[in-house]
Amino acid sequence: MNIIEKANMEHFHSKRADKFGDSDVKALGWKNLESQQKRFEVLVEFADLNNCHVLDVGCGHGDLRYYLGEHFFGLTYIGIDLMTEFLDEAKKRYGHMENTYFVQGDFSKMEVANVDYILASGAFGYKTTNELYYWQTISKMVEVAKKGVAFNMLNQDEFPEHPLLRGHNKAEVLHFCKALNYDVELKEGYLEGDFTIFIRK
């Protein structure tokens, strides 16, 4: 993503924050709390995350930290997000939880080491003119995570044209992930217009 695209993304979120309130799940771009939680429910199905180091790319308000804490024990959580406003909220909400860290930055440009699993809910929903961005970011996640990666995307067949957001071609994403030569699973049907990919190493 270039600097203009990042600025557009920030603008999109601050407009939603003005409309719905900074701490509302709708400021993150989600339709409602149920749709955010349903995505989490599906994402964490893919592996036993007990005692693991988990990196949450595009953590927003950090709500996945709480969700993980309810379902797994002994994990270390690192949430990364581009937006400082979201991270301030994340730290306020979950910064007190043990083994919990929030870091500001662009995952695609950060050096990351020593994580078992990478999860990303909603991080691929933004348009960029750099078509390679999605493939490079998925590849980087797979390269960095020792055990596996799970991420969701909006399905382009069901997502209307939008100036800043975009859906993805499910078959194309699946094809790309399978070519990485790991165990790949597609999950769909849990929420209209959304799909999830699991990559187990």
Ligand X SMILES: C[S@@+](CC[C@H](N)C(=O)[O-])C[C@H]1O[C@@H](n2cnc3c(N)ncnc32)[C@H](O)[C@@H]1O
CA dihedral sign of residues 132, 114, 44, 62: negative
Which one of residues 27, 42, 67, 81 is an interface residue with ligand X (CB under 6 A)?
81
Which residue carries 């429910």 as its tokens?
41
User: Any contact of residue 78 with ligand X (CB under 6 A)?
Assistant: no
Residue 193 in 3-state DSSP?
coil
Site string for ligand X, 124-163 (x = CB under 6 A): -xx-------------------------------------
**Looking at beta carbons only, is 160 or 181 nearer to ligand X?**
160
**Looking at beta carbons only, is 91 or 178 nearer to ligand X?**
91
**Looking at beta carbons only, is 28 or 177 nearer to ligand X?**
28
Contacts for 161-164: CB closer than 8 Å, 24+ residues apart: 162/127, 163/127, 164/8, 164/9, 164/12, 164/126, 164/127
What is the rounded CA–CA span in Å between residue 130 and residue 37? 30
Q: For the CA atoms of the chain, what is the radius of gyration? A: 16
Residue 162 in 3-state DSSP?
coil
Which one of residues 29, 69, 95, 193 is an interface residue with ligand X (CB under 6 A)?
29
- 29 close to 16: Cβ distance less than 8 angstroms: yes
In whole angstroms, the minimum distance from the beta carbon of 56 to ligand X comes to: 7
- Count of residues near ligand X by CB under 6 A: 22
Residues in the chain, total: 201
User: Any contact of residue 55 with ligand X (CB under 6 A)?
Assistant: no
Distance of CA 196 to the CA centre of its chain: 11
Which one of residues 17, 75, 82, 141 is an interface residue with ligand X (CB under 6 A)?
82
**Looking at beta carbons only, is 77 or 126 nearer to ligand X?**
126
Best CA proximity match to 128, nearest among 108, 157, 114: 108
User: Any contact of residue 86 with ligand X (CB under 6 A)?
Assistant: yes
User: Any contact of residue 60 with ligand X (CB under 6 A)?
Assistant: yes
User: Any contact of residue 112 with ligand X (CB under 6 A)?
Assistant: no
Which one of residues 94, 107, 117, 198 is an interface residue with ligand X (CB under 6 A)?
107
Where on the chain is the footprint of ligand X (CB under 6 A)?
A: 28-29, 36, 57-61, 63, 80-83, 86, 106-108, 121-123, 125-126
